[in-house]
Amino acid sequence: MTKTNLKGLTQKALEQFILSVGEPKYRASQIYQWLYKYRVSSFEAMTNLSVSLREKLNEAATIEQFSVAASQTSNVDGTVKFLYELSDGKKIETVLIPPRITAVDAEERMTLCVSTQIGCALDCKFCATASMGFLRNLTTSEILNQYITAQTFSEKPITNIVFMGMGEPMLNYDNVMDAVEIITDQNGIGLSPKRITLSTAGYAKHIRKMADEDRKIKLALSLHSLRDEVRSDLMPITKKFSVEDLLSALEYYNKKTKKSVMLEYIVFEGVNDTDQDVQLLVKAARRLDCRVNLIPYHSIEFTHPQGYSAALHGVSKEGLERFWKKLRMNDVITFIRHSAGVDIDAACGQLAVKNELAIAH
């Protein structure tokens, strides 16, 4: 008999499992708390269950664990990159990011950047994950285990989760949302939805779906250009959902959820850094309830980029500040994102399991 992995089951799914093995429903709540609140790794540790139930669970079920294949810590800012090995031998990366010492909430904040897929099919030209191609979606259990395992290594509680690691979360929507449900449930992991951000490359349909389902987490869009022709070069997904499709989906999201969105923008030299780009961004920002996050470009040289990717360069620090000033002068709420983990290839856009790069070099 194939055993059921209970890690990753929502409260409802766990109830169904418990009823299927002939146990009363209330047992599901107890097991749910052991799995996610106390995060135990064996049924033996679930001490308020009878010995016979624990034996039954051992026969019918498992609790998936992760093994850390490797980890690297940045000498510059303390960022930790984990390489996790999954049960089928595939590997993913997850990044634990301490706050900047100068941050107002430096004492309490600890952010985890979580992956949702192994590799990615969307082929954004500035992203290392794209060079892996798409291997598969992560299960809910694998999404949760990134947090659960990283928490055992972190000296401080992880307070924030960003779905900005490997993969496009909207293309693994159901598993990601089940994970979010467990992470934000007070009987589960118990983080506030306000501390969870999902970033999409631009699945307009799913942005509307998130709004319709009244998801409480925060939404970010990897925008990078408001000109379809430029954005298509940078992010081929633009051929499926145009910039206008995205802006109108975000307007819908703003209206329906009354929540603001984050627009992420890497400023590339000679590509999306002109005054016209500033004006288009200002115009878009005026249509939306949003903030703009300018992101320094992080080199993906280690993936040996070719063609358009190879020609991409970030603007200088001064160029980034000039771009920021122009947006601020137009009353756009704009921040420059602090880069973390650059020295260990763990910064934004740099995640890729090196021995699984689709392009062999």
Residues that bind ligand SF4 (CB under 6 A): 120, 122-124, 127, 129-130, 166-168, 201, 222
37-42: list long-range contacts, CB under 8 Å, 24+ apart.
37/187, 37/188, 37/189, 37/190, 39/148, 39/151, 41/65
Catalytic residue among 124, 127, 290, 348: 348
**Lookup: tokens for 56:** 């039954």
Is the CB of 222 or the CB of 225 nearer to ligand SF4? 222
- Cβ 81 to ligand SF4 shortest distance, Å: 15
Q: Which residue bears the tokens 């509307």? A: 208
Q: How many CB atoms lie within 10 A of CB 145?
A: 25
Buried b or exposed e, range 95-133, using 16+ CB within 10 angstroms: bbbbbeeeeeeeeebbbbbbbbbbbbebbbbbbbbbbbe
Catalytic residue among 93, 142, 168, 264: 93
In order of 50, 125, 202, 241, the CA distances from 223 in angstroms are: 53, 13, 8, 12
CA-based nearest residue to 108, from 98, 96, 116: 98
Separation of alpha carbons 132 and 35, rounded Å: 32
Q: How many CB atoms lie within 10 A of CB 247?
A: 20
Is the CB of 18 or the CB of 162 nearer to ligand SF4? 162
- Cβ 200 to ligand SF4 shortest distance, Å: 8
- Cβ 237 to ligand SF4 shortest distance, Å: 7
Is the CB of 28 or the CB of 352 nearer to ligand SF4? 352
356 flagged as catalytic: no
Separation of alpha carbons 292 and 278, rounded Å: 11
Is the CB of 33 or the CB of 339 nearer to ligand SF4? 339
93 flagged as catalytic: yes
Is the CB of 161 or the CB of 201 nearer to ligand SF4? 201
- Cβ 186 to ligand SF4 shortest distance, Å: 31
> How many CA atoms, within 13 angstroms, populate the side-chain half-sphere of residue 130?
18
Q: Torsions phi, psi of 37, nearest 5? A: -80, -50
- Cβ 64 to ligand SF4 shortest distance, Å: 24
Q: How many CB atoms lie within 10 A of CB 83?
A: 16
Is the CB of 18 or the CB of 164 nearer to ligand SF4? 164
- Cβ 232 to ligand SF4 shortest distance, Å: 13
Task: Report the DSSP beta bridge partners of residue 219.
Answer: 198, 261
Which residues belong to the active site? 93, 348
